[in-house]
Chains A and B, each alone.
Chain A
Amino acid sequence: MAAAALFPGVYLYRRIVQAKLFIDGHYHEAINLDNIADEAFFSKFHFIRLFKNTYGKTPHQYLITVRVEQARLLLQKGKPVAEVCYTVGFDSVTSFSALFKKTIGQSPSAYRQREIKRSAEMQVSPLKFIPNCFAQEKGWLKNSNFQ
Chain B
Amino acid sequence: MFCSALGNQTTKHMITKMNHVSIFVLDQDSAYEFYVNKLGFKVHTDASMGPGMRWLTVCPPEQPDLEISLMAIAEGMMFKKEAAAQMRSMVSQGTFGFGVFECNDLMATYEELKAKGVEFKKEPTKEFYGYEALFKDDSGNWFSLGEKER
Which residues of A line the B interface, CB within 8 A?
1-4, 6-7, 10, 13-14, 16-18, 20-21, 54-56, 122-123, 126, 129-131, 134-135, 137-140, 143, 145-146
Q: Are B107 and A13 in contact (CB under 8 A)?
A: yes
Q: Are B50 and A145 in contact (CB under 8 A)?
A: yes
Q: Are B115 and A143 in contact (CB under 8 A)?
A: no
Q: Are A2 and B147 in contact (CB under 8 A)?
A: yes
Answer yes or no: B77 CB below 8 A from chain A CBs.
yes
* Minimum CB–CB distance for B31 against chain A, Å: 16
> Given contacts A134-B55, A134-B69, A140-B53, is CB(A1)–CB(B107) below 8 Å?
yes
Within 8 A of A (CB), among B44-99: 45-50, 53, 55, 69, 76-78
Of the candidates B20, B105, B111, B112, the one having the most CB atoms from chain A within 10 angstroms of its own CB is B111
Q: Are A14 and B111 in contact (CB under 8 A)?
A: yes
Q: Are B105 and A55 in contact (CB under 8 A)?
A: yes
> Given contacts A3-B124, A4-B107, A6-B126, is CB(A130)–CB(B47) below 8 Å?
yes
B105 touches which one: A6, A54, A130, A140 (CB < 8 A)?
A: A54
* Minimum CB–CB distance for A68 against chain B, Å: 13
Of the candidates A3, A20, A55, A134, the one having the most CB atoms from chain B within 10 angstroms of its own CB is A3
**Residues of chain A within 8 A of B55, CB atoms compared:** 126, 129-130, 134-135
**Residues of chain A within 8 A of B131, CB atoms compared:** 2-3, 6
**Residues of chain A within 8 A of B50, CB atoms compared:** 140, 143, 145
Q: Are A16 and B108 in contact (CB under 8 A)?
A: yes
A21 touches which one: B46, B104, B106, B112 (CB < 8 A)?
A: B112
Q: With A55-B104, A138-B53, A143-B50 given, can you name 20 additional A-B contacts, CB distance below 8 Å?
A: A3-B147, A4-B107, A10-B111, A13-B107, A13-B108, A13-B111, A21-B115, A55-B108, A122-B47, A123-B48, A126-B48, A126-B49, A129-B45, A129-B47, A134-B20, A137-B77, A137-B78, A138-B49, A140-B50, A146-B49
* Minimum CB–CB distance for B53 against chain A, Å: 7
**Residues of chain B within 8 A of A2, CB atoms compared:** 131, 147, 150
- The docked-state distance in angstroms from the alpha carbon of A134 to that of B50 is 15
* Minimum CB–CB distance for A50 against chain B, Å: 10
* Minimum CB–CB distance for B100 against chain A, Å: 15
> Given contacts A129-B55, A131-B20, is CB(A7)–CB(B78) below 8 Å?
no
* Minimum CB–CB distance for B123 against chain A, Å: 9
- The docked-state distance in angstroms from the alpha carbon of A137 to that of B71 is 12
Smallest CB-CB A-B distances: 3 pairs:
A3-B131, A126-B47, A139-B77
A138 touches which one: B77, B106, B126 (CB < 8 A)?
A: B77
